[in-house]
């Protein structure tokens, strides 16, 4: 039973849905996240920081809601906030994230731009377990692609996302089978 957290466009959420994985809940830190619209009939909810006293209170409420929906595995699919122990302790070793670089290189929110700036020849996508750090948990799977001389942040991110949309459902399916 999978819960997905997403803050943006939600193409990775869509890939999980297309793979017919058992997504039972979708949550976001943004009420206006386009990802929430992809949930369709699946229960969805927004947990905006401004509605809570602090991050721990918001994360506790979000974890509680996901538990209520029966979630056992949480997938971060473009979720932009760090998770506090108030959340992570409710789902031990059961939170995964997808990131657009070959971690541990280029963690953080601007990974694609930073890779181009650094002039790397190779990029890719990583799926990893989530801890309190910035994209710092143990790596579960990676796939590489070549960076082209004429790549822009948009074209490179687009090709990385094509990898993510294959890699993330595969890893999540393996975790569900455990």
Measured distance CA(127)–CA(142) in Å, rounded: 6
Three-state DSSP class for residue 7: coil
Measured distance CA(48)–CA(46) in Å, rounded: 6
| Least gap, CB of 62 to ligand GRF (angstroms) | 18
Measured distance CA(15)–CA(26) in Å, rounded: 14
Q: Which is nearer to ligand GRF, 37 or 89 (CB)?
A: 37
Measured distance CA(147)–CA(48) in Å, rounded: 36
Q: Which is nearer to ligand GRF, 57 or 129 (CB)?
A: 129
87 contacts 49 by C-beta, under 8 angstroms: no
Q: Which is nearer to ligand GRF, 13 or 66 (CB)?
A: 13
Which is catalytic among the residues 99, 128, 157, 165?
Answer: 99
96 contacts 171 by C-beta, under 8 angstroms: yes
Question: Which stretches of the chain bind ligand GRF, using CB under 6 A?
Answer: 6, 8-12, 35, 77-78, 98-100, 161, 164
Q: Which is nearer to ligand GRF, 60 or 161 (CB)?
A: 161
Measured distance CA(17)–CA(24) in Å, rounded: 10
| Least gap, CB of 113 to ligand GRF (angstroms) | 12
| Least gap, CB of 53 to ligand GRF (angstroms) | 27
| Least gap, CB of 174 to ligand GRF (angstroms) | 18
39 contacts 3 by C-beta, under 8 angstroms: no
Q: Is 99 considered catalytic here? A: yes
The closest residue (CB) to ligand GRF is 78
Catalytic residues: 99
């Amino acid at each position: 039973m999978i819960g997905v957290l997403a803050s943006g466009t939600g193409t990775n959420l869509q890939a999980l849905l297309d793979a017919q994985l058992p997504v039972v809940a979708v949550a976001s830190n943004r009420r206006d996240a386009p990802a929430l619209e992809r949930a369709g009939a699946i229960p969805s909810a927004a947990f905006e920081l401004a509605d809570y006293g602090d991050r721990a209170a918001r994360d506790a409420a979000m974890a509680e809601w996901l538990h209520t929906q029966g979630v056992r595995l949480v997938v971060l699919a473009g979720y932009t906030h760090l998770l506090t122990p108030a959340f992570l302790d409710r789902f031990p070793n059961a939170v995964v994230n997808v990131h657009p670089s070959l971690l541990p290189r280029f963690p953080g929110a601007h990974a694609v731009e930073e890779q181009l700036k650094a002039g790397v020849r190779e990029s890719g996508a990583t799926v990893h377990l989530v801890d309190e750090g910035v994209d710092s948990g143990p790596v579960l799977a990676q796939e590489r692609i070549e960076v082209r001389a004429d790549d822009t942040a948009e074209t490179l991110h687009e090709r990385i996302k094509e990898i993510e949309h294959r890699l993330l459902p595969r890893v999540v399916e393996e975790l569900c089978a455990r």
